[in-house]
Structure 1
Amino acid sequence: MSGSVQRTVLDNGVRIVTETLEDLRSASIGFWVDVGSRDEGAEQQGICHFIEHMMFKGTDTLSARDIAERIDAVGGQLNAFTTKEQTCFYARVLDQHLDRAVALLADMLLHSRMDPADVEKEKGVILEEIRMYEDTPDELIHDLVAEAALGRHPAGRSVLGTEQSVRAFVPEQVREFVRTYYTGQRLVVAAAGRLDHERLVEQVARLFGGLPPGDRPRRSSPVESEFRWLVRGKKTEQAHLCVSSPGLEAGSPHKWPLMVLDTVLGGGVSSRLFQQLREERGWVYSTYSYHTALADTGYFTVYAGASPDKATSVLELIEQELASVAGSGIREDELRRAKEHLKGSLMLSLESTSQRMSRLARCELTGETYLPADEVLARIEAVTVEQVHRLAASMFLPDRYAYAAVGPVHWKTQRRLAAAG
């Protein structure tokens, strides 16, 4: 599917980016607010995520039940999520219901009640979410490694906040945060599917034209980690392990070799880590790698879950694989396989209007040029073995690794972490 991409900026800074796909009968719409957990103050930790929840609790004219019934009545999907740098509210509907979805999302963002009783009730919900997260070690480990890798950097904090910070939220504090950050220059409206760009612009202008412009975020914080390894002891069957190295910031021109490197190391069942740790030795069930790109920094992470008695060996093998790719690079057959994997994943993702909508929004928010699919495929195809090797050699430096572990971590593993960190 090839679509027509258009962009309009309103007088107050609201950006509308769309991709029209006439052959479809559905559309995805997302309202992306350029504020996330890294933008919160010390006493506001978790407030972006809290606001995301509160937007579904009722507006001046609609109850929470009304919101749910309105989207169900048109067979649509409505949801939201919060990241370290953005908060997104989105819907997927049939094309003839797009106007309704836009109006509903606008009502939620502009007229949410933030009722004191609802605020208190939602505190309890989120406190349970935090506790559930604590009981999910294969999720908790990723917050821990972010803290180990980024230290005092604001992106090192959990998106959920802490029990103490969430308990302290009051309605006026929440409303003030919305007034400060839910402004024109921080709002990106992205849509993909069967739609009319000008009609959407007209509707967004009518609904959001009164938003104050505000300002765009200026994000630049030093990474000052006071610790290189963190361990959370828990009574679990597995030890969950992460090794992290410095990575690339969002929009880096080196992201294409990084995508290949990530795929070769831990991007699938043919990856080095999966083959070495699971297929060859049987030490793990799950292992993978990923990269987190932020406005001013980034970090690359390898995850593995293993029995406690194998944890030290798993850590050592991960380090060996990182050292191998940093020292010798990757093979031509690995390069070709990674490219085909990435190109296949891209083309499959283009069958989803939600994925297309998200790609539009992320390019707009990071300042990247939105590339058509053919150009993305060409960028991937242009990656060379030498580019991947240079990038790996610059990233995988043992004295810059950060480590995290959750579970019944054996004293030998802790000693190994301490020696490495």
Structure 2
Amino acid sequence: MPRPQAASSGALRQGRTSSAASVPAVRRTRLPGGLRVVTEHIPSVHSASVGVWVNVGSRDEGRSVAGAAHFLEHLLFKATPTRTAVQIAQAVDAVGGELNAFTSREHTCYYAHVLDSDLELAVDLVADVVLNGRCEPDDVEVERDVVLEEIAMRDDDPEDTLGDVFLSAMFGDHPVGRPVVGSVASIAGMTRSQLHSFHVRRYTPDRMVVAVAGNIEHDEVVRLVRRHFGRHLVRGRSPVAPRKGAGRVAGRPTLELVKRDAEQTHLSLGVRTPGRHWEHRWALSVLNTALGGGLSSRLFQQIRETRGLAYSVYSTVDTFADTGALSIYAGCQPERFDEVVRVTTDILADVARDGITADECRIAKGSLRGGLVLGLEDSGSRMNRIGRSELNFGEHRTIADTLSKIDEVTIDEVNAVARQLLTRPFGAAVLGSVRSKRSLPKPLQQIAG
């Protein structure tokens, strides 16, 4: 539920330090009902980020309720038994905080970012919304219109539209191939009863993780969680194990074409990868960075810097429990599209055959190390890291351990991953004023079959 972030206000309390140097920064407690509490103490900040992570996303929906997880995420902020939507907004605005949520294909997160002195309020608000959101019929109709507007906004953004179409081309009927927001038809037809049932059945403590990072103490967080989760902490359940997925994706990737009058033609091209539990995932990250993850990457240098064919070109990796995708995006003027496709596919063929160079590997590893550390300089990013780690892996690797994993990647491993993945069948999505699949460049016609 998007909300503007307010300016900070109020007094800061003095930073606290751990009572013993031996106390780990990340701590974990399991409460009755299978609820897990994970915290990271960061004494150098004056903030706290609180997230309730639910192991439910769009891949858990049936087709008749496509978009339910995202719809529900909006709806729960509208009212609880003790607060109206206005009161929820006023409570967080009064302390200069942020209250928000997001839904992905495999989980949903409700979070608050506040001053450390307002930790209890943050736990109270997030727990109240997640556990007690009422799904009132009138609110369902209001948020239905909001979600439909969000779908329309997605459709107006070529990159957002292409992202959903590309995953559909890559994964077909597999649940991760469906848009998180659902469709106009599924949202228009969804009932209050369906949303309420989704909430009651899916939002159980054994599927939840409370992640808190900042200038906080673990024992205090556990005490607050016990208080505000109260009657939901019923014994007899164990935490749901990290998601493993449904196995291999059936069929081959395809080509999807979205015809639209536009100033640019947009391309996403990629291959399937193993999921996030793959032993070579760090080498895949290095390969992705060398291909299109930075200013010195091959795609950026060849397509933008050397030839000036496109303003935006990059590669990315999407990983899920059981599968993933390595993809390249480029947007260019229609008359340059054929050359962009040719240069892109030539680069991928070169890397599949000859691999990347030692310098490219060194630069990519340095980029990953720096990006990891710089990206974890605030409590919100730390909260995201420990929440995802608990849900996805059931364990927590230190930053030093992660940096070590990157350092251990060898050029031979990266190039073996390149040979394995970049010789797989490609999938693609194209958006723009293209007449038909037969008018596309030959490499894309080969995907279409």
Aligned to 1:172: 193
Q: % of aligned pairs identical?
A: 41
Cα offset, 1:335, TM superposition: 1.2
Of the three residues 345, 352, 357, the one matched with 1:331 is 357
Q: Cα gap change, 1:372/1:416 in structure 2, threshold over 3 Å: closer, same or farther?
A: closer
Of the three residues 1, 25, 36, the one matched with 1:4 is 25
For residues 130-172 of structure 1, the C-alpha deviation after alignment (integer angstroms, 9 at most, x for no partner) is 1111111111101111001001101100000011110112212
Q: Distance in 1 between matches of 2:318 and 2:277?
A: 12
Question: Where does 1:19-418 land on structure 2 (aligned, <5 Å)?
Answer: 19-211=40-232, 213=237, 216=240, 219-225=245-251, 228-367=254-393, 369-398=395-424, 400-409=425-434, 411=436, 412-413=439-440, 416-418=443-445
Q: Distance in 1 between matches of 2:120 and 2:350?
A: 54
Cα offset, 1:360, TM superposition: 0.6
Give the AA of the match of 2:444: L
Q: Distance in 2 between matches of 1:251 and 1:19?
A: 24
Q: Distance in 1 between matches of 2:366 and 2:322?
A: 30
Cα offset, 1:214, TM superposition: 8.4
* Number of positions where the alignment pairs a residue of Structure 1 with one of Structure 2: 420
Is the 8 Å Cα contact of residues 291 and 300 (structure 1) preserved in structure 2?
yes
Q: Distance in 2 between matches of 1:310 and 1:221?
A: 39
Cα offset, 1:416, TM superposition: 4.6
For residues 9-51 of structure 1, the C-alpha deviation after alignment (integer angstroms, 9 at most, x for no partner) is 1121011111111222111111100000000011010000001
Cα offset, 1:409, TM superposition: 2.1
Q: Cα gap change, 1:92/1:159 in structure 2, threshold over 3 Å: closer, same or farther?
A: same
Give the AA of the match of 2:322: D
- Secondary structure in structure 2 of the residue aligned to 1:85: coil
Q: Distance in 1 between matches of 2:279 and 2:325?
A: 16
Q: Distance in 1 between matches of 2:48 and 2:115?
A: 6
Aligned to 2:7: none
Give the AA of the match of 1:413: L
Cα offset, 1:251, TM superposition: 2.7
Normalising by structure 1, we get a TM-score of 0.96
RMSD (Å), alpha carbons: 1.8
Cα offset, 1:287, TM superposition: 0.7
Give the AA of the match of 2:28: R
Aligned to 2:8: none
- Secondary structure in structure 1 of the residue aligned to 2:26: strand
Cα offset, 1:205, TM superposition: 2.1
Cα offset, 1:315, TM superposition: 1.5
Cα offset, 1:227, TM superposition: 5.6
Cα offset, 1:410, TM superposition: 5.0
Q: Distance in 2 between matches of 1:11 and 1:22?
A: 29
Q: Distance in 1 between matches of 2:238 and 2:25?
A: 30
Is the 8 Å Cα contact of residues 154 and 221 (structure 1) preserved in structure 2?
no
Cα offset, 1:55, TM superposition: 1.4
For residues 217-242 of structure 1, the C-alpha deviation after alignment (integer angstroms, 9 at most, x for no partner) is 66315412466100010111111101
Is the 8 Å Cα contact of residues 12 and 209 (structure 1) preserved in structure 2?
no
Is the 8 Å Cα contact of residues 104 and 180 (structure 2) preserved in structure 1?
yes
Unmatched runs of 5 consecutive residues or more in structure 1:
none
- Secondary structure in structure 1 of the residue aligned to 2:428: strand
